[in-house]
Amino acid sequence: MAGKNSEIESIDFEQALTELEKIVKELEAGSLSLEKSLVLFERGVKLARLCKEKLAAAELKVAKLIKEKDGVFTEEPFKPED
Amino acid sequence: MAAVPANKIYSVYQINRMVDDRLRSDFSDIWVVGEVSNFKAYPSGHLYFVLKDERSQIQAICFRESAQRLKFQLKDGDLIIGHGRVEVYVPNGRYQLILDTIEPKGLGALQRAFEELKRKLEKEGLFKAERKRPIPQLPRVIGIVTSPVGAAIHDMLRTLELHRAHLKVLIYPVAVQGEGAAEQIARAIWDMNTIEEVELLIVGRGGGSWEDLWPFNEEVVARAIASSRVPVVTGIGHEVDWTIADFVADVRAATPTAAAAVVARGWEEFEQRLDDLWSQMNERVQEFIFEREQEIEALIKHRGFELVHRRLSEAQYQIELFMNVLSRVVNQKINACFQDLNLRIERLNRQNPAARVMRWRVMLETFSSRLDKAFSNIKTPLEARLTKAAASLDALSPLAQLARGYAICQKPDGGVVMRVDDVQVEDEVKVRVADGRLDCQVKNKMKGV
């Protein structure tokens, strides 16, 4: 289960968004050289594209929790017809 | 079975009618006190509900004419005093209370319990706004405490999917109504809090009667929510239903679907924000490039550059002038050379051997024509003598004899016929006369004529 979930966890969406916001802010400040701003732009494009791709790939995963006798929980596939 | 007289056997209908008659006469004008439950207002305007107390319950109806006169909004949990009658609904044999007047009579038992618990928890500060925690913007793993059957879980999952929430959902199946439901719900909330990856909880159930929703009004559930490590979003019943759990929750959504939407909202906003930043970034970079272009343009038009431009064009002008002079001088030089060359060629021509040959040829031609003339002076008299001689020769020719009327007869082989015997009768002969030939046949031969 943890393995399946890792594709969601492998990218920190919040961090990516924060960095993107910073990039846009820096670009808007307008005090950068052309080269520097293009480097920032490139980084921004990469981040945004990565997020988009991850969002497109990730799906809703649904599991039902079963409490075992020893108090440990196991996950079972959930079917709405249950 | 003993014989029963036919007139003593009733039909089902007859029994229901008889009971109805009896009830109508005995309970035509009665007052009743009870708590409203399972309240339903139909589009027809009739109100259907169950009236009950601790021991018993009865189906009650308030028809539209009476319902329109009610001075308050009837709802589940209301304790009322009503006036009306009791009758049998003959088609199904159930008896029911028909109320024409309804007055509120304080709070029902459940309502009282609700108000008491609400007051108590409020006093403890469990409903305070500052207790409410923000829900995580982009939760990766959430728990849902609800019934695994029914529309609620289905609606929640569909909503999460619809809003493109990228989640792992852990469902903790519980009973959401009836005996022990409250304890199961509270246990589920506690258990969920022990699972580390869970970031957020939805506690919910679909719509139902006041009693159906009751577990969510129990203290044990309220306590579980209040002590939850992770934020709790409630979505219980319909818009109008407020339970104690809703008051304690960090976010109260009107329905299970709304609760799922609240959880998914962050993801939805994230995607929008991402799109916004994307286009802002693009715009900004385009602006940036445009600005740089403007700057370069401005630099090019700068005064300093203009001076250089002017100097350059001056220099160019001088170069052109110089080039003009230069080309004139060179042309003159070249022309002079050509003239000199022509002179030399002329002089050279005069000493040309071909010219001498030409002169010699002219002389030669003069001599030649003089020679021709001398020759013809000799030739003409010679020619005249030659013509005369030829004429005399002519007179002797056999051809000349023919001209005087003689003919020559020839055989086909060309031999001249000299005698009669040279030919046979019917031989063909040719007779030549002065101006031509006659082809003849010998008809007869006569000698000595």
* B439 CB-near residues (< 8 Å, 6+ apart): B428, B429, B430, B431
Is the distance from CB of B264 to CB of B234 less than 8 angstroms?
A: no
pLDDT higher than 70, residue A82: no
Provide the percentage of residues in chain B whose pLDDT is more than 90: 44
Using a CB–CB cutoff of 8 Å, tell me whether B293 touches chain A: no
Which of A23, A41, A58 is facing B166, going by the closest CB pair? A58
Query: Rounded to 5 degrees, what are φ and ψ at B444?
Result: -155, 155
B212, two tokens: 């159906």
For residues B265 and A80, the model is more confident at: B265
Using a CB–CB cutoff of 8 Å, tell me whether B210 touches chain A: no
**Residue contact B168–A13, C-beta within 8 A:** no
pLDDT at A47: 86
Helix spans in B211-255 (H): 219-226, 244-248
Using a CB–CB cutoff of 8 Å, tell me whether B169 touches chain A: yes
Per-residue pLDDT tens digits for B4-26? 887 888 999 999 999 999 999 99
pLDDT higher than 60, residue A81: no
Q: How confident is the model at residue A1 (pLDDT cuts 50, 70, 90)?
A: very low
Q: Is B145 exposed, middle or buried (0-12, 13-18, 19+ CB in 10 A)?
A: buried
ipTM over 0.95: no
* C-alpha distance from A59 to closest chain B C-alpha (Å): 6
Q: Which segments of chain B have a pLDDT < 70?
A: 1-2, 107-108, 392-398, 400, 449
pLDDT at A9: 45
Using a CB–CB cutoff of 8 Å, tell me whether A30 touches chain B: yes
pLDDT at B172: 95
Q: How confident is the model at residue A7 (pLDDT cuts 50, 70, 90)?
A: very low
Q: Which of residues 227-286 of B touch A (CB under 8 A)?
A: 270-271, 273-274, 277-278, 280-281, 284-285
Region label for B249, one of left (φ > 0), alpha (ψ between -120 and 50) or beta (otherwise)? beta
Q: What separation in angstroms does the CA of B435 have from each of B398, B406, B428?
A: 13, 11, 20
Q: Which of residues 114-143 of B touch A (CB under 8 A)?
A: 137-138, 140-141, 143
Helix (H) or strand (E) holding B83: strand B78-89
Say what the alpha-carbon torsion angle B264, B269, B275, B280 is, to the nearest 10 degrees.
-170
pLDDT at A4: 41
pLDDT at B6: 79
Using a CB–CB cutoff of 8 Å, tell me whether A39 touches chain B: no
Is 0.80 surpassed by the pTM of this model?
no
Q: For chain A, state the CA radius of gyration.
A: 20
Q: How confident is the model at residue A67 (pLDDT cuts 50, 70, 90)?
A: confident
Q: How many CB pairs under 8 A join A and B?
A: 102
Q: How confident is the model at residue A11 (pLDDT cuts 50, 70, 90)?
A: low
From the candidates A65, A68, A73, which should be mutated to test the interface with B, based on the most B CB atoms within 10 A? A65
Is the distance from CB of B125 to CB of B134 less than 8 angstroms?
A: no
A31, two tokens: 């005090």
What is the CB neighbour count within 10 angstroms for residue B429?
16
